[in-house]
Structure 1
Amino acid sequence: MSADHSGGGRPLAWLPIPPEEIPGLPAELEYAHWDGGPDYPTDPARCVFYAVPYMQPVAVTTRPLPEMRRLRVMQALMAGVDDLLPSVPLLPPGARLCNARGLHDASTAELALTLVLASLRGVPGFVRAQGAGEWRPEFRPALADKEVLILGYGSIGAAVEDRLAAFECARVVRVARSRRTAARGPVHAVTDLPELLPGADVVIVVTPLTEETRGLVDAGFLARMKDGALLVNVARGPVVDTEALLAELTTGRLLAALDVTDPEPLPAGHPLWAAPGVLITPHVGGPSSAFRPRAEALLRDQLTRFVREEPLRNVVVTAR
């Protein structure tokens, strides 16, 4: 661990973005930059607000936690914090783990629409034909006039629907854990899926990974989808039963576009790579140019709330 050169007596926050590049940070705090490197910028024991480095393995991001004895806030820069929840017992009592709900809405929704359009219009096949120098026109389905089911109607699901509005879909079906009414209309409960799935041409999965959603898209779920339907997963890999999906892809009955897989990263030689009718991207829903300004805004807001002792946003759990 590197020497502590910070010196000041103000409460200390560790940020994965250089603090001098984030305008408007509250002056009541001292800041250090740590992006997951081998050396710590200061003594971890001084840190009271820890913003977790983005796109780093959980073994890296949780490494300083046993030494962060004064920690009050652990701020993730992902909407899903399932990988961080096992580390909560390492936090001091009263420390809060916050997620980044809203941070990745635009970027993830963009990718979801990209995967839908690329799959329906056969873009992967055209790219392969281009590489071979071959002109292969073909008739493909459009998103227009399709019924789209959004599974996991939170902030990302709503952002997906916002972008679907321009594509003349026949119907958008919203599904969440429980029934409610959203700005665009009714939201169905997960228990309604058996009746809803047979009508959907496209199913977009954006639900968080919980014990209730792990394996939710199983053989029974997939069997209820109509022939030729497209499954898009931009949530977490374990929401989908990989073996059950492979069985459907192998027969050619369903199509899939996956930004996340189980296992992940998908190892070389895994049958998903060669399965017919599947488009795979390497978990890139969040990392885009939309990330940085939204991450800065979230950190600025949370740190301001922290120093003012105002309620923090997106508290997932408080350590005991």
Structure 2
Amino acid sequence: MTSDVWLPIPPDQIEGLPEGPAYRFWDGGEEFPADPAECALYVVPYMKSGETGLRPLPGMRAVQVVQTLSAGVDHVQPGLKYLRPGVRLCNARGVHEASTGELALTLVLASLRGVPDFVRAQDRQEWLGGFRPALADRSVLIVGYGAIGSAIEDRLTGFEVARVARVARSARTTERGPVHPLADLPALLPEADVVILSTPLTETTRHLVDAAFLARMKDGALLVNVARGPVVDTEALLAEVGSGRITAALDVTDPEPLPPGHPLWQAPGVLISPHVGGPTSAFLPRAKRLIVDQLDRFVNRRPLRNVILTTGETVR
């Protein structure tokens, strides 16, 4: 039975790893740390290209678990075809909520209050005053109400927003109130001053934000994307922000990274951050805790956390 575990963090920097497995450090370098065929659990390197993370998968003939350190798994799913049935794919729920929730709120406040304009005015040594929109008394719509969507609402508490509406794949009820299904979006969009995207990228959500979605947003509304770039149809967004009818704050784009000369860079009313929702000082301690917990469960044959799918079975 294989016992190798591939980690993108040096094992001597992770306290509490269970005894038993042979820990191999691999953070996406050219050389593999061992034979991929001997790997039982693979933790995918974080903030590396999709191609890098997928490279060892064809040789991982006995792997049992693939663990990402990202909330999304879309960058790994193309490689699942190389794996035998029964391999569990797990995401990093619990790792990125704090950082991504912070950034979502930062982008909302910076956009509404005009912080990018102030920075440019400072470069010109210009005192730029005037009234700006506040977050207080605004209606917020969160599209994608999983762990990150809930964390975003946590951080909205105290800002005196008028209303928070929640949308997920299917309807349910939470302590805070109802979560609407995606089918309710046409009715909810015209009421929202701020629309925050925190949904996973799936075939259902790819280009969810298309021309029809954007057309239903109210005049002057702000679109914030901390999900994945392809959730938004870039050409449709460019048409709307180009008209000045809505504004946008994007931590993710399509294409990504955004190449020099792309029209999004200069689009009016658009604030861009370079996909930095997760990589903060909060990442490493939470990632280590997740790795230790998952490995303890794996070694002791207890149920794993955050299983998104099992190869050979229908995706949830």
What TM-score does the superposition give when structure 1 sets the normalisation length?
0.95
RMSD: 1.1
Question: Can you give the 5+ residue segments of structure 1 that lack an aligned partner in the other structure?
Answer: 1-8
Tell me, in whole angstroms, the C-alpha distance in 2 between the residues paired with 1:241 and 1:89: 28
Distance between the aligned counterparts of 2:46 and 2:75, measured in 1? 13
Deviation at 1:10, TM superposition (A): 7.4
> In 1, are the aligned partners of 2:225 and 2:251 still within 8 Å (CA)?
yes
Whether 2:115 is the aligned partner of 1:154: answer no
Q: Which residue of 2 aligns with 1:142?
A: 134
Secondary structure in 1 aligned to 2:187? helix
Q: 4+ residue stretches of structure 1 with deviation over 2 A?
A: none
Q: Is the 8 A contact 1:73 1:96 kept in 2?
A: yes
Q: Which runs of 5+ in 2 are unaligned?
A: none
Is 2:303 the counterpart of 1:311? yes
Q: Distance in 2 between matches of 1:188 and 1:316?
A: 22
Contact 1:10 1:28 in 2 (8 A): no
Contact 1:120–1:141 (CA under 8 A) maintained in structure 2: yes
- Aligned partner of 1:287 in structure 2 is 279
1:222 aligns with: 214
TM-score, structure 2 as length reference: 0.97
Aligned-partner Cα distance in 2 for 1:227–1:79: 32
**Residue 57 of structure 1 pairs with residue 49 of structure 2:** yes
Q: Report the counterpart of residue 18 of structure 1 in structure 2.
A: 10
Partners of 1:148 and 1:299 lie apart in 2 by 34
Kept in 1: contact 2:70–2:96 (CA 8 A): yes
Bigger Cα displacement from structure 2, 62-71 vs 194-203: 62-71
Aligned pairs, number: 312
Say whether the 8 Å CA contact 2:141–2:192 is kept in structure 1: yes
Answer whether contact 2:207 2:233 (CA < 8 A) is retained: yes
Contact 1:47–1:71 (8 Å) recurs in 2: yes
User: Which residue of the partner structure matches residue 183 of structure 1?
Assistant: 175
Amino acid at match of 1:53: P
CA–CA distance in structure 2, aligned partners of residues 256 and 92 of structure 1: 42
d(CA) in 2 for partners of 1:180, 1:160: 18
- Measured against aligned partners, the alpha-carbon deviations of 1:249-272 in whole angstroms (never above 9, x if no partner) come to 011000000001111111111111
Q: 2:30 aligns with which of 38, 56, 68?
A: 38
Instruction: Check whether the contact 1:10–1:30 (CA below 8 A) recurs between aligned residues.
Output: no
Between the aligned partners of 1:210 and 1:158, the Cα distance in structure 2 is: 19
- 8 Å Cα contact 2:168-2:181 kept in structure 1: yes
Partner AA of 2:171 in structure 1: R
CA contact (8 A) 2:2 2:39 kept: no
**1:213 maps to which of 205, 208, 225:** 205
Shift of 1:92: 2.7
For 1:195, the equivalent position in structure 2 comes to 187
* Whole-Å separation in 2 of the counterparts to 1:57 and 1:50: 16
Structure 1 residue 62 displacement after superposition: 1.2
Are 2:2 and 2:62, in contact at CA under 8 Å, matched by a contact in 1? no
Q: CA offsets per residue over residues 276-304 of structure 1, 9 Å max, x none?
A: 00000111101111100110011001101
Secondary structure of 2:158's match?
helix
> Would the aligned equivalents of 1:65 and 1:91 in 2 still touch at CA under 8 Å?
yes
Amino acid at match of 2:92: A
Contact residue 78 and residue 99 of structure 1 kept, 8 A? yes
Q: Which amino acid aligns with 2:117?
A: G
Matched, 1:47 2:51: no
Deviation readout 1:100-136 (Å, 9 max, x if unpaired)? 1221111001000000000000000000011111111
Give the partner amino acid of 1:174.
Answer: R
C-alpha separation between the residues in 2 aligned to 1:252 and 1:245?
Answer: 11
Separation of aligned partners in 1, 2:251 and 2:72: 14
What SS does the aligned partner of 2:9 have? coil
Cα distance in structure 1, aligned partners of 2:151 and 2:180: 17
Paired with 1:264 and 1:85, the residues of 2 have a C-alpha distance of 18
Counterpart contact for 1:15–1:53, Cα < 8 Å: yes
1:110 maps to which of 98, 102, 112:
102
